[in-house]
Amino acid sequence: MSGGTSLFVKLTPGEDGRWVAEVPALPGCISQGDTKADALTNVREAALLCLDDLVERGLPVPDESSSELDRIAV
């Protein structure tokens, strides 16, 4: 699959000191790395595999390129 899809990634520190990266739009698409950069690289590879699988199965590909992410205090 070629580029062009934009997805949000949630980064959280893991209990073991590594970073956990998750793509909420692709359930189950999670990876980790020793640094944030490693985690992002690894989850990008996982996301590409997930997207390829969606395309092969004829399922819609999520695209969050027009979405915004913000934070609120509660």
What is the DSSP code string of 1-28? --S------EEEE-TTS-EEEE-TTSTT
Predicted TM-score (pTM) of this structure = 0.83
Predicted local distance difference test score (pLDDT) of residue 5: 81
Q: Which residues pair with 32 in a beta bridge?
A: 20
Point out the residues of the chain with pLDDT beneath 70: 1-3
Distance CA 14, CA 48 (A): 23
Q: Are the CB atoms for 43 and 35 separated by under 8 Å?
A: no
pLDDT at residue number 54: 95
Query: CA–CA separation, 27 vs 7, rounded Å?
Result: 12
Residue 70 has what pLDDT?
Answer: 86
* Of 62, 56, 53, 57, residue with least CA distance to 25: 62
Report pLDDT for 3.
Answer: 59
